[in-house]
Amino acid sequence: LRVLSLDPPRLEAIDFDDETSYEEGMFTVYEPTSVAVHPRLPVALTTVVGRTRLDRGRVMGFDLRHASLGSWVLMQQVGFHPDSIAIAPNGRCAVIACEAEGHPDTPGTLCVLDLTGLSPDRRAKDGPLPMHELTGLEKLVGRPAGVIEPEFVAFDPQSRFAAVTLQNNDSLIFVDLTSAQPKLT
């Protein structure tokens, strides 16, 4: 994950290792697919695909403060092949679209990650944050499991719901966040 400094007057890459001859960026273990910056905390969350067909994906959190830039604040398993992450404008949760691409027997899922315990002072070794994995997309969309692939996530400005595209299914679904437990609608 390459990090850029946005300090005026120019945009430049940040080098994390003075001993290398190139700008290597933040280490994400494997293929990052999406990134979102928390609206109130100096933290970026990125989704990372698993390394093997049987390896679940991950969400990783990075500290964005200058003195500790790049430190892992979160390393947590999510569904298969996470493709998109968005953080609610109020910062209370993130929704992750796990499309399960390449897993024909595994249904795509949506994960709702509770971010109320997230802090830039947290470290990945502190364990996972509370998460709800929303299943049942096949029933809601009327398609068999394994062909539903949640693709892209966006929030409404009041953080009441997230909209998720199901690109290969010509569908749009919503995650209702107004009750204690998130639910598909």
- 10-residue mean pLDDT profile of the chain (185 residues): values are 55 57 63 94 94 82 89 92 96 94 76 97 95 88 80 96 90 93 92
pLDDT of residue 6: 56
pLDDT of residue 156: 97
Tell me the two tokens of residue 145: 């499991």
- The CA-based angle 130-131-132, given to 5 degrees, is 135
Q: Which position has the token pair 């993130």?
A: 94
pLDDT of residue 8: 54
Q: Which position has the token pair 């470290």?
A: 123
Q: Which position has the token pair 């273990």?
A: 29
